[in-house]
Structure 1
């Protein structure tokens, strides 16, 4: 049975220089491209690691590299390079949309670690929590106007959207092709009513970012009841807000990969970083 591959030659030409170099001594490593295809196959199909086709190599190799590359920054370098190339080609839209989505967690992702210690940064709850639908993980992300993920932050499923906003914004870092600091400040930020708070609007105002955030009905009613003491309503551009569908399309594109629509990883760092660059 042949395995459908997703990494094209053009994609690999961009990714290959960013992969870890082979060791100077000892046995050469397994082919990086085949390992990437193995990781992509696992998340596309949501199959157990042990069911990995023989053509893609040992499942132990793919799983270990997924975690290693998440902790040593390889995935971040790949994603940053792809975003920098898009920005250089003027193909990155800086009207940024922020939203979140819940991913149901499979029971295999909730097993306790039997031995050893965790490697690298990992939250105590492994970004797992109980919401109305049971065990779940919430993925908070920011996308550009062309539905590309710029920043991803994962929390437990019961976490709110607004508390994770600043963490998502802090994750936006697009390197410049020449000299200069990475770009971290969008021109406009679009968000739904879950992000309508004084703290979020003040955060964007201090950074000089235009906010287009809808207000919930209770906030509008409370301001009207206070009359003049309620102050002016925040500015809201209806036409610009229509572009918020970009983040919805970004989420829908990620969830076409079944391993991202339902979490099976025990470690939250793999769920947040492991496959974002491939799906973008």
Structure 2
């Protein structure tokens, strides 16, 4: 069987220095590159773990590595290091767009353990909820001005966009490779009408971030009915708002992986780890 690989030599040159070193005691790690290819193959094709081709090694090794590095934060550390290197090369476009997408949950995603869930980061509901289309997970995403992910979180499918905004923006944190504090402040945040609230606009104003968010019709009508008491309408740059398609394109990039477009993982920890791997490959491919 011939397996199509996705990690090029140039990408591996950027990823390899960030991989964990072999443990001092015990067995050495299996080949990191092959393991990453195995995880990527599983989520690109949405195949069961047991169908992993022999060329990519043991499926138990790949599955355990995915979970282990999710629990100890390895995936997030690699992603943060990749972002820091890109920012040092001035590759990050700091006009940030925010949105979310609903991913259907396959029946294999049901049955996650209710007690003693793996790691503290695993939510009690395993980030599964019932929306119009059935059981689903919602991925909240912030992308830079070139349609590449800067931060992401997962919630249950019925969760709203606005309540997750503060937690999502708190994850936009790019360390400096030299001296200086991590960069957490975009020049502007572009979002659709679902994010139009006083709380979100006030949060961005306090941080000195320009909000490019249109008002929904009901908010406009409510302000007009109050007359002078309704105050001035919030500023809105229609020309800058045209760039909001970057987050839609970023979502499309991630959903090219079938295992991310439809969730089959029982644990939100594993699903989010696969999302982080996809984002790492997006950045290193540039």
With normalisation by structure 2, the TM-score equals: 0.95
Deviates more, 1:50-59 or 1:18-27: 18-27
Counterparts of 1:273 and 1:152 in 2: how far apart (Å)?
Answer: 11
- Report the counterpart of residue 278 of structure 1 in structure 2: 281
Question: Aligned-residue CA RMSD in angstroms?
Answer: 1.4
Question: How far has the Cα of 1:175 moved from its partner?
Answer: 1.2
Contact kept in structure 1, 2:213 and 2:236, CA below 8 Å: yes
- Report the counterpart of residue 100 of structure 1 in structure 2: 100
Question: How far has the Cα of 1:74 moved from its partner?
Answer: 1.2
What per-residue deviation string (whole Å, max 9, x for no partner) do you get for residues 132-154 of structure 1?
00000000010000011001011
Helix, strand or coil for the counterpart of 1:155? strand
What per-residue deviation string (whole Å, max 9, x for no partner) do you get for residues 65-106 of structure 1?
101111111111211122122212211100000000000000
Classify 1:108/1:177 alpha carbon distance in 2 versus 1 (closer, same or farther; 3 Å): same
Counterparts of 2:113 and 2:63 in 1: how far apart (Å)?
Answer: 16
Helix, strand or coil for the counterpart of 2:150? strand
Helix, strand or coil for the counterpart of 2:138? strand
Question: How far has the Cα of 1:24 moved from its partner?
Answer: 2.2
Contact kept in structure 2, 1:18 and 1:74, CA below 8 Å: no
Helix, strand or coil for the counterpart of 2:29? coil
Counterparts of 2:43 and 2:22 in 1: how far apart (Å)?
Answer: 25
Counterparts of 2:199 and 2:117 in 1: how far apart (Å)?
Answer: 37
Unaligned stretches of 5+ residues in structure 2? none
Contact kept in structure 1, 2:143 and 2:250, CA below 8 Å: yes
Question: How far has the Cα of 1:231 moved from its partner?
Answer: 0.3
- Report the counterpart of residue 126 of structure 2 in structure 1: 126
- Report the counterpart of residue 145 of structure 1 in structure 2: 145
- Report the counterpart of residue 16 of structure 1 in structure 2: 16
Contact kept in structure 2, 1:40 and 1:278, CA below 8 Å: no
Contact kept in structure 1, 2:114 and 2:124, CA below 8 Å: no
- Report the counterpart of residue 157 of structure 2 in structure 1: 157
Question: How far has the Cα of 1:117 moved from its partner?
Answer: 5.0
Question: How far has the Cα of 1:26 moved from its partner?
Answer: 2.8
Pairs within 5 Å for 1:105-120: 105-113=105-113, 117-120=117-120
Counterparts of 1:116 and 1:88 in 2: how far apart (Å)?
Answer: 41
Contact kept in structure 1, 2:112 and 2:267, CA below 8 Å: no
With normalisation by structure 1, the TM-score equals: 0.97
Helix, strand or coil for the counterpart of 1:136? strand
Classify 1:114/1:49 alpha carbon distance in 2 versus 1 (closer, same or farther; 3 Å): farther
Classify 1:115/1:57 alpha carbon distance in 2 versus 1 (closer, same or farther; 3 Å): farther
Counterparts of 1:12 and 1:58 in 2: how far apart (Å)?
Answer: 21
Classify 1:87/1:229 alpha carbon distance in 2 versus 1 (closer, same or farther; 3 Å): same
Contact kept in structure 1, 2:106 and 2:264, CA below 8 Å: yes
Contact kept in structure 2, 1:101 and 1:138, CA below 8 Å: yes
Counterparts of 1:132 and 1:73 in 2: how far apart (Å)?
Answer: 33
Question: How far has the Cα of 1:116 moved from its partner?
Answer: 6.5
Contact kept in structure 1, 2:162 and 2:194, CA below 8 Å: yes
- Report the counterpart of residue 238 of structure 1 in structure 2: 238
- Report the counterpart of residue 6 of structure 1 in structure 2: 6
Classify 1:180/1:216 alpha carbon distance in 2 versus 1 (closer, same or farther; 3 Å): same
Counterparts of 1:101 and 1:73 in 2: how far apart (Å)?
Answer: 24
Contact kept in structure 2, 1:101 and 1:140, CA below 8 Å: yes
- Report the counterpart of residue 56 of structure 1 in structure 2: 56
Task: Number of aligned residue pairs: give it.
Answer: 280
Counterparts of 1:38 and 1:69 in 2: how far apart (Å)?
Answer: 15
1:204 matches 2:204:
yes
1:81 matches 2:81:
yes
Deviates more, 1:90-99 or 1:269-278: 269-278
Helix, strand or coil for the counterpart of 2:152? strand
